[in-house]
Amino acid sequence: MAGNKRVDHFGASVAGPAHRASRKLNEDRWLGASGSFGSLIVVSDGLGSKPQARRGAQGACVATLRAVRSWFSDGGRSVEQLLPRIEAFWLQEIAPHDRTDCAATCLMALAHRDGETYVAALGDGMAAVRTGRTVERIEFPRGSAYLNETMSLGGSGTWASRRYGVSEVDAVVLASDGVSDDLRSDRIADFIAWLTDDIAPLQPQPRWRQLCRELHNWHTPRHFDDKTLAVLSWPSAGIL
């Protein structure tokens, strides 16, 4: 619940064609959780050049949940107080491995129980927020060919973040770059509408299976990356 309105969360993650062909495991991760703090989604992409990429992505998701619980218990209401906790908990989660071996992006969205929504992004991928029929992306512009190496937990990147007021947001979509790199900017609103109108109303297991099918049968040829989606949605009255 957030602001006395039910908030739904769902997602899916699949190994990309390159990893399936080489029988490697998916190096993306996602997490969805609800609690006294509200509802949370996290997406992380372990950097493919790192030997412990999978461990880094898994750690990022768990660390973000731990950070949110800790921040909420301490009465935190500022995203600037939340974000440093994520890396601190992440370092605990990846121990004893070196941080540079576990570098991973981190995208998160929190629907706070009091109604505000916090969205933050470190690294590539997409954090897209729909307010009414307007869509905003929370990200730093790509300024270097080496951005993926620095904008990550375990690197020297900087978070992009935004706080939204009560009832401003009706959907947040997080996606790893295996999905976001193929989305045209003029079609993101349609993509979010498909997720909230066609996918969100499904029951959890059919919804997860449908998302996995869509990600496995991704429409862009020769796209080899792992693919991950996570969604926060505020269902309209009557949708259970």
pTM of this structure = 0.90
Q: Which of 13-17, 118-122, 156-160 shows the lowest mean pLDDT across its residues?
A: 13-17
Residue 215 has pLDDT above 70, yes or no: yes
Cis, peptide link before residue 96, omega less than 30° from 0: yes
Task: Give 12 or 146, the one with higher predicted confidence.
Answer: 12
What pLDDT digit, counting tens, does each position of 83-113 carry? 999 999 999 999 999 999 999 999 999 999 9
pLDDT on residue 77: 81
- In the chain, % of residues over pLDDT 90: 68
pLDDT on residue 18: 60
Average pLDDT over residues 68-77: 94
What is the biggest distance separating any 2 CA atoms in the chain, rounded to whole angstroms?
Answer: 49
| Cα separation, 68 vs 58, whole angstroms | 16
User: CA-CA-CA-CA torsion for 61, 62, 65, 66, nearest 10 degrees?
Assistant: -140
Average pLDDT over residues 8-14: 95
Q: Which two tokens stand for residue 9?
A: 């969360």
pLDDT on residue 222: 53
Residue 209 falls in which region: left (phi positive, over 0), alpha (psi -120 to 50) or beta? alpha
What pLDDT digit, counting tens, does each position of 31-59 carry? 999 999 999 999 999 997 788 999 999 99
Q: Which CATH number fits domain 8-233: 1.20.140.10, 3.60.40.10, 3.40.50.1000, 3.30.43.10?
A: 3.60.40.10
- Provide the sign of the torsion angle of the four alpha carbons 90, 61, 131, 75, taken in this order: negative
Average pLDDT over residues 54-77: 96
Task: Give 178 or 58, the one with higher predicted confidence.
Answer: 58
In the DSSP assignment, the letter for residue 208 is: H
pLDDT on residue 221: 54
pLDDT on residue 163: 95
Q: Which of 5-19, 127-141, 147-161 shows the lowest mean pLDDT across its residues?
A: 147-161
Q: Average pLDDT over the chain, rounded to whole?
A: 87
